[in-house]
Amino acid sequence: METRKLGTRGLEVSSIGFGCMGLSFPGAPEKRESIKVIRAAFENGITFFDTAQRYGDNELLVGEALEPFGGKVKLATKFGFIGGAMDFKIDSSPKNIRASAEASLKRLKTDCIDLFYQHRMDPNVPMEDVAGTVKELIQEGKVKYFGLSEPDPASIRKAHAVLPITAVQSEYSMFYRAPEHDIIGLLEELSIGFVTFSPLGKGFLTGSITAETKFDEKDPRNMSPRFDKENRQENQALVDLVVSVAREKNVTPAQIALAWLLAQKPFIVPIPGTSKVHRLQENIAGSKISLSADELNVVNMALDKIKIVGERYPKSIQNKIGK
């Protein structure tokens, strides 16, 4: 697989990574099968794996799965929460950042975290203190690179002035294009990489979800206003567009969604997640599909005419995490 560079300090990763979060959430396969999928990702060329302390036992799972490949993979994890997986208690105090780093190192079975993100901005801790603490961890050899997850532009500039940011992680896809307004241009200006989660719109861009789809009662999409039946119906025009382009190129909708992302900027690295090896292989094949400038122009003009309805998160969660 081709590689891409994130930031300017030397982090080079596979052109798509693997988002491991879903392997520890409701509906995930048993541990043995999850390890099989993670290892299949590496065996098929993926070298960049994303997890977080807040994803339940995910760091433990990732650490066990990738231990045999130490030194051949890049591990990204996150700090900034305390409490249970759904508590959303933000804490980026220097003390908690250090405690999180030590805990993550043990769970990931590594002596250095490749990319350490602040998971969400903490209004109670100055960004200068956050970046300063991570800078100390880098000097101590416990972390290699610094990142921010879902930051606002002001926070990016403040942090970058203290410690160069290697990557920003946010949701970005044909289904959610908000970063185009004030984030992507800033990242290009500052030479910061962009790691995009939910690049397939949490499955919506695969073409397999319609207004009539019934999710399992434990499926987290049940909480997302974007996935209300009425909103899925309103947003069907986007699916129709992706399916149409996929048919023209004789590929899958998911592959078009990933190819579109990769074509936006050379510093974008999507991190789709899956629990199925055949979907993993489908995603990897998407990284090899090229869209010409003319094809991109046609797709983007069509996208601009489609209004996506529905918020990403319910208000109760938005109020806690600021998104």
* CATH 3.40.50.300, domain 3-321, yes or no: no
Give the integer Cα–Cα distance in Å for 141 and 178.
35
**pLDDT above 60: residue 319:** no
pLDDT at 204 over 60: yes
Q: What is the pLDDT of residues 57-83, one digit of tens each?
A: 999 999 999 999 988 999 999 999 986
Task: For residue 173, give the DSSP letter.
Answer: B
Rounded Cα distance between 59 and 48, Å, is: 14
Cα(25)–Cα(16) distance, rounded to whole angstroms?
A: 22
Question: pLDDT at position 84, please?
Answer: 53
Catalytic residues: 55
pLDDT at 272: 97
pLDDT for residue 176? 96
Q: What is the pLDDT of residue 168?
A: 98
| Distance from the Cα of residue 322 to its chain's centroid | 17
| Rounded CA separation 221/25 (Å) | 12
**Percent composition of the chain: helix, strand, coil (DSSP 3-state, to 5):** 45, 15, 35
pLDDT over 80 at 42, yes or no: yes
What is d(CA 174, CA 161) in angstroms, rounded to the nearest whole number? 31
Q: What is the pLDDT confidence band of residue 218, given thresholds at 50, 70 and 90?
A: confident
**Residue 224's pLDDT is what?**
87
CB crowding 226-256: b at 16 or more within 10 Å, else e:
bbbeebbebbeebbebbbebbeeeebbbbbb
pLDDT of residue 219: 82
Could you give the percent of the chain with pLDDT greater than 70?
Answer: 95
Q: Is the pTM of this model over 0.85?
A: yes
Residue 44: how many other CB atoms lie within 10 Å? 16
pLDDT for the residue 314: 72
Rounded Cα gap, residues 86 and 316, in angstroms: 11
Cα dihedral value 70, 165, 187, 150, nearest 10: 80
pLDDT, average across residues 174-202:
97
Which residues make Cβ contacts (< 8 Å) with residue 260, sequence separation at least 6? 174, 291, 296, 299
Q: Which of 252, 268, 265, 267 is nearest to 296 (CA)?
A: 265
Q: Residue 11 is encoded by which pair of tokens?
A: 């982090």
pLDDT for position 132: 98
List of E strands, 34-178: 48-50, 74-79, 81-82, 89-90, 113-118, 143-149, 167-171
Query: What does the DSSP 8-state code read for residue 24?
Result: G
Does residue 49 have a pLDDT over 70?
yes
Cα gap 9→47, rounded to integer Å: 18
CA dihedral 53, 254, 280, 66 (to 10 degrees): -30
- What are the boundaries of each domain within the chain? 3-321
User: What mean pLDDT is predicted for residues 195-219?
Assistant: 90
pLDDT at 320 over 60: no
> pLDDT at position 223, please?
84
- Which residues lie below 8 Å from residue 64, measured CB to CB, with a gap of 6+? 35, 109
Q: What phi, psi does 76 have (nearest 5°)?
A: -115, 130
